[in-house]
Amino acid sequence: MSISGRGAVVTGGGRGIGAAVARQLTECGVRVVVAARSSAEIEAVATALRSGGSEAWAVRCDVADPDSITALFEQARAHLGDVDILVNNAGIATAAPVVKLELAEWTRLWTVNATGTFLAMQATLPGMIERGWGRIVNVASIAALRGARYISGYAASKHAVMGLTRSAAAEVASAGVTVNAVCPGYVDTPMTDATVSNIVERTGMTEQQALDAILVTSPQRRLITPNEVASSVTFLCEEAARPINGQTIVLDGGAISSH
């Protein structure tokens, strides 16, 4: 049994983890729609995948906009037929102490990270349930499992993704559909580059010092690679992962388990 020929939507597929997920899924023969706001990035990813012989399309989407999500899945179905696999990877991260976190920023984090994930699931689950096969993987974070200083808005929105994952998994368990999450620590992507730059700007540290400061949380003292996250996401999409439902794979080098 293989997932070759299945149709997948990867949100936030223009760079970082999402681009790696899209590539690994196509290596399994999955046909992929990559979605994000930056047309140039998603077009570049889709073009590179097509030039490698895979079937891939770019569809512009802002997951903070419900109409844009509706349009994404209309176009995805036009390209793929059925959407069998959904990887909710689009996300944003900002940092502020809880007493200084503005309501607008809190709302933005929730709208993209939690509500975007919820709406994309609503757009795809009915078809998956009807056909009796589906895989949803939500890219959460170790911040979905524990708190830390200055990330209350991000952590709260990612905790919401975990609650959504576990509850939806319970609802679809008998329908051939699974809903799981991956929870990485710091990954080597533009998002982490921005975190490092932010620390440099706020503290006057060098880039290396800022990187060392965030790696203090990692027992392996290194950034996780996008490909390592993509491997877990791809595994959760495979037939072999059928009994795994409502779970999370924690990719943190042992940070949470040794805390």
Q: Please, which residue, 64 or 168, has the CB nearer to ligand NDP?
A: 64
What is the size of the binding site for ligand NDP (CB under 6 A)? 30
Rounded Cα distance between 165 and 178, Å, is 9
Candidates 95-103, 126-134, 163-171, 181-189 — which segment interacts with ligand NDP by CB under 6 A? Answer: 181-189
Query: Residue 182 forms beta bridges with which residues?
Result: 139, 249
* Residue 53 three-state SS: coil
Which residues, 83 to 142, sit near ligand NDP by CB under 6 A?
Answer: 89-93, 112, 139, 141
Pairing of strands 177-184, 134-139: parallel
Q: Over 82-148, what HEC string results?
A: CCCEEEECCCCCCCECHHHCCHHHHHHHHHHHHHHHHHHHHHHHHHHHHHCCEEEEEECCHHHCCCC
Q: Which residues pair with 7 in a beta bridge?
A: 31
Residue pair 45/14 in contact (Cβ under 8 Å)? The answer is yes
The answer to whether the CB of 68 falls within 8 A of the CB of 43 is no
> How many Å apart are CA 7 and CA 86, to the nearest integer?
9
Segment interacting with ligand NDP, rule: CB under 6 A, options 1-9, 30-38, 128-136, 168-176: 30-38
Is 108 exposed, middle or buried, given 0-12, 13-18 or 19+ CB atoms closer than 10 A?
middle
150 labelled catalytic: no
User: Quick check: 69 binds ligand NDP (CB under 6 A)?
Assistant: no
Q: Considering beta carbons, is residue 194 or 205 the nearer one to ligand NDP?
A: 194
User: Least distance from C-beta 92 to ligand NDP, angstroms?
Assistant: 5
- The span of 61-69, 97-105, 119-127, 129-137 binding ligand NDP (CB under 6 A) equals 61-69
**253 binds ligand NDP, rule: CB under 6 A:** no
* Minimum CB–partner distance for residue 35 and ligand NDP (Å): 6
Of 40-59, binders to ligand NDP (CB under 6 A) are 41
The answer to whether 134 and 85 are in contact (CB under 8 A) is yes
Q: Does 252 bind ligand NDP (CB under 6 A)?
A: no
Q: Which stretch binds ligand NDP (CB under 6 A): 60-68, 74-82, 164-172, 237-245?
A: 60-68
Catalytic residues: 154
List interacting residues with ligand NDP (CB under 6 A).
Answer: 11-12, 14-18, 36-38, 41, 61-64, 89-93, 112, 139, 141, 184, 186-187, 189-192
